[in-house]
Chains A and B, each alone.
Chain A
Amino acid sequence: MRGAASLALLLVLASVAALLHGQIDAAPSVLWQGLVTGEGPGALILDTIRGPRVATALGAGAVLGLSGTIFQTLFRNPLAAPDLLGFNAGAGLAIIAGIAFGIALPAPVLAAIGGLAVAGVVGALAWRRGSGTPALTIILVGLGTGFTATALATFLMTLLPGTAAAEAQRWLTGSLAARNWAHAAQVWGFGMALTLLAFSQARPLMVMELGGELATGLGVRAEPARWRISGIAVLLAAAGVAVAGPVPFVALMAGPFGARMTGARSPAARMAAGAAAGALIVVLADLLARASVPGLQLPVGVATGLLGAPYLLWRLSREMDKGDL
C-alpha cells in the first residue's frame, strides 16, 4: 500500500515538474496564478504549451504501460512487451502505408489496424496445436514479424518524396511535439474505455497466468481468453502509438518497474501499477528530452531509447542469472 502511495506521489511530482521545467523554468507561483485567473504566462503554459503535452504523455504512457503489463502477465515473461513483439512496428508500418498510398483513415485507426494485423500474424505463426504457445516462440516470432514490418516500412519510405519521408521518420521515432488537448482527449478517451475492458478481464488473466491446463480446469477456455485479452492489449498499445508514435521500451519497462515499486501481486494491481509506471516513464523521458540541452528539443522516443536499451540489457543478464533464459 505504501508503495502504491509513493508511486502515485511520484507521478504527481513528475507531472508538476514537467509543467514547471523545460527549456524555460516557470516559478510555481506563476503557474498557480495562471491556474486561478486563467491569464498570464502561467495560463499559457498550462493551457497551450505544456499542459496538453503532459496530459498526452500521461495518457500514452499509461496505455503503453498497461498493454505491456498485460502481455507480460499473459505470457508469463517479462520480455513479452508489444514493442518487442512487433506490434508497435506494425502500427508504424500501417501509418507509413497510409501516407504512402494516401489512405484517408485517422492515424489511431491505422495504428490499431496495423497492430492488430501483426498480432494476428504473430499469433497464427507462433500457434502450436496441443502444447499451447511457448512464450519464447511468441517473442521470437514477434521479433521476426517486427523486423519484417520495419523492412516494409523502410521500403515504403523510399517511395515517398524527401519531405514526407522526413516527416514519417520523425513520427516513427516517437514524438510529443505540438500536442494539443484533442490528442490528450483522444488517448484518454480510448484509453479509459479500453482500460475498463482490460480490468474486466482481470480474473481470466489471473487464471491464465497459472497456466493453460489449470485455466481449463477452472472453467476458463484458454485459447479464446488468450486471444481476447491480447486483442485488448494490442488496442491499448495502438491508442498510445496513435498519439505519440511508437515510443520504444515504455511497455517493456513499465510492468516490472510498477510491480517492484508497489509490491503488487494480483494481475489487477499489477496492471494499475504498470499503467502508472508507464505514465511516469513517458513524462520523465519527455522532460529529459526537452530540458536537458539548451536550445535543443529532442523527440521523446530518443530519451526512452536511451533509458530503455540499458534496462533491456540489464534485464537480460538478470534473466540469465535466474536461469529463465
Chain B
Amino acid sequence: MRQAALLALLLGLGAALSLTTGPRALGLSDFHTALTAYDPHDPAHVTLMAIRLPRLVAGLIAGAALGVAGTVMQTLTRNPLADPGILGINAGAAFALLLGAAVFGRADQAAIALFAFPGAALASVAVFALGGGLRGDAGPVRLTLAGAALNALLLSMVTAMVLVRQESLDILRFWVAGSLTEAVYRPVAQMALLACTGAALALLIAPLIEALSMGADMARGLGTRPARVQAGGLLAVTLTTGAAVAIAGPIAFLGLMAPHLARPLAGASLRAQLGTSAALGALILTLADVAGRIILAPGEVRAGIMVALLGGPVFVWIARRLRPGAMA
C-alpha cells in the first residue's frame, strides 16, 4: 500500500513536471484560468491544454501499455530480456506504415496510427513465433536474436522504400521524429481504448499465465489449457504494444525495464506486477519526455531516444546477471 502511494506521488510529480517544462514559461495563474476559463486564442492556454496535456496523456498511456506488454511477455516466455521494442515492433510498424502510405496514398496522422498498429502487432507475434515463444522454450539469446533478425530484415526493406520514394522519408519522420509531440493529432482515445482492453485481458488471465509459467505440465494439471493462455497473452501484448507504438512512435526497452523495476516492489503476484509495471512505464516515459525537452533546449530529443539511452545499459545489466544455465 505504501508503495502504491509512493508510485502515485511520483506519477503526480512527473505529470506536474511534464506540464510545467517547455520553452513557454507558464505561471500558476495560467493553469487556473486555462481550467476555469479556457481561451482558444491565448497562447498560454493553448500550450497547456492542446499541447502539453495531450502529450502527457499519450505518454502515460503508451508507457503504461508497454509496461504491461513487457510483463506479460517476460512471464509468458520466462525470458527476462523479452521486450516488444527489442523484438522488432518498431521496425514492423515503420514498414507497415510506409507500405500503407504507398498502397493507399495516405499519410495523415490518423492513417499513420491505422497502419502502424497492425504492423507493430504482426511483428511482435511473428518474432514471438519465430523465436520459439509458442513452444515455451525461447531462451533469451534466441528470442533477442530472432528480434534482431526481424528488425534487420524490416529495416532493410524500409531503407529500400525510403530510397525509392523520397516521400517515404517524410512519412517516416512524421512518425519517428514527432513522437509524443505529435500525440495531439493521433487517435489517442481509440488507441487508449485498445490498450485498456489489452491490459484488462492481461489482468484477467494473469493467474493462468502464472500457472503456465510454472511449466506446461503443471498448468495442465491445474486445469489450464496452455495454447489458449498463450493466445490470450499474445493478444494482450499485441493490443497494448500496437496502441503504444501508434500513439507514441517507436519506443524500445521500456517494456524491458519496467517489469524488472516492478518485481521487487510488487512481489510475486503477477497482477500486482502488472499494475506496478504499468505505473513505472508511464513514469519512465513521462520523465524521459521531460528530460528530452531540457537536454537540448530549446530543441527537443524525442522520448524514444531518451528511453533507449537508458535501456541499452539496463539490457546489459540484466544480461550480466543471468546465470549461464538460465540463458539457453
Contact = CB atoms under 8 A, between A and B. Distances in A.
Direct contact of A and B (CB under 8 A): yes
Interface of A: 79, 84, 125-126, 131, 134, 136-137, 139-141, 143-145, 147-152, 154-155, 158-159, 173, 248-249, 296, 298-299, 301-303, 305-306, 308-310, 312-313, 316-317, 319-320, 324-325
Contact of B152 (A134, A137, A308): A308
A102 B261 CA distance: 39
Contact of B309 (A136, A141, A152): A152
A145 B163 contact: no
Nearest to A314: B149
Interface in B271-328: 296, 299, 301-302, 305, 308-309, 311-313, 315-316, 319-320, 322, 324, 327-328
A244 to B, nearest CB: 15
Given A316-B142, A316-B146, A140 B308 contact: no
Given A125-B316, A306-B157, A308-B152, A139 B308 contact: no
Contact of A309 (B137, B149, B164, B311): B149
Interface residues of B, number: 45
B324 A137 contact: yes
A173 B160 CA distance: 10
Contact of A147 (B152, B315, B320): B315
Nearest to B130: A313
Nearest to B309: A151
A158 to B, nearest CB: 6
Give the 4 A-B CB pairs with smallest separation, nearest first: A148-B312, A305-B156, A309-B153, A144-B316
B116 to A, nearest CB: 19
B157 A151 contact: no
Most chain B beta-carbon contacts within 10 A, residue among A155, A299, A308: A155
Contact of B312 (A145, A310, A317): A145
Interface of B: 81, 86, 130-132, 137, 139-142, 144-146, 148-150, 152-153, 155-157, 159-160, 163-164, 252-253, 296, 299, 301-302, 305, 308-309, 311-313, 315-316, 319-320, 322, 324, 327-328
Contact of B305 (A125, A154, A312): A154
Do most interface residues of chain B lie in helix, strand or loop, or is the interface mixed? helix
Nearest to B314: A144
B316 A312 contact: no
Given A126-B320, A316-B131, A136 B153 contact: no
Most chain A beta-carbon contacts within 10 A, residue among B137, B157, B324: B324
Nearest to A162: B173
Contacts of B319: 137, 140-141, 143-144
Nearest to A305: B156
Contacts of B149: 308-310, 312-313, 316
B322 A305 contact: no
B144 A143 contact: yes
A301 B159 contact: yes
Do most interface residues of chain A lie in helix, strand or loop, or is the interface mixed? helix
Contacts of B140: 140
Contacts of B305: 151, 154-155, 158
A23 B182 CA distance: 41
A273 B313 CA distance: 36
B141 A325 contact: yes
12 contacts: A79-B145, A126-B320, A139-B145, A140-B322, A143-B144, A151-B308, A296-B164, A305-B156, A306-B156, A317-B132, A319-B142, A325-B139
Contact of B159 (A139, A143, A299, A308): A299
B327 A305 contact: no
Given A125-B320, A141-B320, A310-B153, A325 B315 contact: no
Contacts of B309: 148, 151-152, 155
B312 A144 contact: yes
B145 A84 contact: yes
A324 B253 CA distance: 27
Most chain A beta-carbon contacts within 10 A, residue among B160, B311, B316: B316
A148 B156 contact: no
Contacts of B302: 158
